[in-house]
Amino acid sequence: MTDRNNTLETTDENPADVLLQQLLHLKGYEVPDVARMIKHKQNIMRQVREANGQSRWSLGGLLEVNIPWFFAEPRYGIAALFIAFAALQFWGVSSQKQAHSTTGIYTSESKTAVLDQNITFSAPSISYPKLPDNLELCPDQEGDRGVKFVGRIELKK
């Protein structure tokens, strides 16, 4: 540092000089609104990210930039949390409703269970073995077991 540090120091004894230095010193007490400045900084950071091609923000990035502002303006932070909570509640209710309405079988206004015809079923993937043609499974007459044995009996001599 090659120069004077304090703005109030002066080598000139002229009272007008001293007075001017004092007035300029008081100007140092002009301060911007803290919350406004924090928001302003966030805007700059946001613009920098957009300019950098990082327009898609991660949740972590958003929190990192916005958390200081929440602390600077607690009422807005609380309001934002309340809105977020309400939105989550609403989201939860609507998704529950949706889950009920998309089932295949539902209760109609007439209180009878009906099957939604628009449902598509997939074909069973299990393949059963083909039965021989001479095997009758369904009986035609009473007392008939419905099973015929076809074969030849040979007697040994």
Residue 131 interacts with another protein (CB under 8 A): yes or no: no
Number of residues that bind another protein (CB under 8 A): 38
47, 78 Cβ separation under 8 angstroms? no
Task: Quote the least distance from Cβ 40 to another protein, whole Å.
Answer: 6
List beta partners, residue 113: 107
Q: What is the nearest approach in angstroms of another protein to the Cβ of residue 8?
A: 7
Residue 67 Cβ vs another protein, minimum distance, rounded to whole Å:
13
How many Å from the N-terminal Cα to the C-terminal Cα in the chain?
A: 132
- The answer to whether 54 and 47 have CB atoms below 8 angstroms apart is no
What long-range pairs does 29-32 form, CB within 8 A, spacing at least 24?
none
51 or 113, CB closer to another protein?
51
**Should residue 6 be labelled a site residue for another protein when binding is judged by CB under 8 A?**
yes
Select the residue interacting with another protein from 11, 13, 35, 54 (CB under 8 A): 54
Round to whole Å and give the CA distance between 136 and 103: 41
Kindly report the backbone phi and psi dihedral angles of residue 42, in degrees, each rounded to the nearest multiple of 5, phi listed first: -65, -40
C-alpha count within 13 angstroms, C-beta hemisphere, residue 43: 6
Single-letter code of the amino acid located at 37:
M
**Is residue 128 close enough to count as binding another protein by CB under 8 A?**
no
Select from 24-32, 76-84, 85-93, 139-147 the region that touches another protein (CB under 8 A).
Answer: 24-32
Site for another protein (CB under 8 A): which residue of 47, 94, 103, 107? Answer: 47
Residues that bind another protein (CB under 8 A): 1-8, 16-17, 19-33, 37, 40-41, 43-45, 47-49, 51-52, 54, 65
